[in-house]
Amino acid sequence: MQKKRRRKAARILALLLAAAVLTFAGCGAATGRETGAPELTGSASESSSHETGASAAEDGNGASVSIETKGASVTEALTDTEAAAEDTDSALTEPVSTTAADTEPENTETGGTEQSGAEPESAEGEDGMIYAHVNGRVLTILPAENSSAAAFSELLKSGDVTVKMHDYGGFEKVGPLGTSLPRNDTQITTSPGDVILYQGNQITIYYDVNSWSFTRLGKVQGLTQAELKEALGSGDASVTFSLRK
């Protein structure tokens, strides 16, 4: 709407200017006729007449040129005015383009905020394993799925339990637990690595085969019979059972 109004105003202004130029030219021609030069006689008159005619012609051409020139100036003024109006409209209506570089926040480095790739250590007992520390070695025990093993894990949540163990029968190390756990005795033929509850209050780590009515508490993981015997050593041993590795 504003653009149309500007163009209309420019055209009106151009027409007014053109009318003023034409009026001025007409007045000039009328004045020339009214105040023409006096007549001359003889050759001088003819010469003067020729000069006057030339002058009149020149004046006529000059007026015509002047009108055309001023008309052209008016047209140019109109064109310039419209172009200026269009430029103004474009400047007012053209949306401001933004680039990613203008809007992207600066990348600022802050110290001490990088996350390391290392995973946090598991909380005590979170992995569900039981660990037996003996002779500088750590045995990993997978608990059995029964109430006896659950009670043993619950006991270890209160703290580590250290048992003085000794060899018996050439196939096990056994020692007093210091407390009683629920029994789930069944007839079992043991294999190396079995961790057994005997009579509800003794704990045994088997490194060879035996058959009896026992409660299975768990199984040592990842060791051969020879490696297990080497870890337990010969003779008495102090074994600490824990939920921490």
Domains of the chain: which residue ranges?
2-93, 130-242
Name every residue whose Cβ is closer than 8 Å to that of residue 54 and which is 6 or more positions away in sequence: none
Q: pLDDT digits over 98-135, tens only? A: 444 444 444 444 443 344 444 444 445 568 999 999 99
User: Mean pLDDT across the stretch 126-153?
Assistant: 95
Helix axes 2-34, 42-93, angle to 10 degrees: 170
Higher-pLDDT residue of 13, 138: 138
Which residue in 215, 208, 147, 121 sits closest to 172, CA to CA? 208
> Distance between terminal CA atoms of the chain?
82
Tokens encoding 85: 């109006």
Question: Is this model's pTM higher than 0.95 or not?
Answer: no
Q: Tell which CATH classification among 1.10.490.10, 2.40.50.140, 1.10.10.60, 2.40.100.20 matches the domain 130-242.
A: 2.40.100.20
Q: pLDDT digits over 155-205, tens only? A: 999 999 999 999 999 999 999 999 999 999 999 999 999 999 999 999 999
CA angle 221, 217, 179 (to 5 degrees): 130
CB 188 within 8 A of CB 217: no
Statement: residue 225 has pLDDT above 90: yes
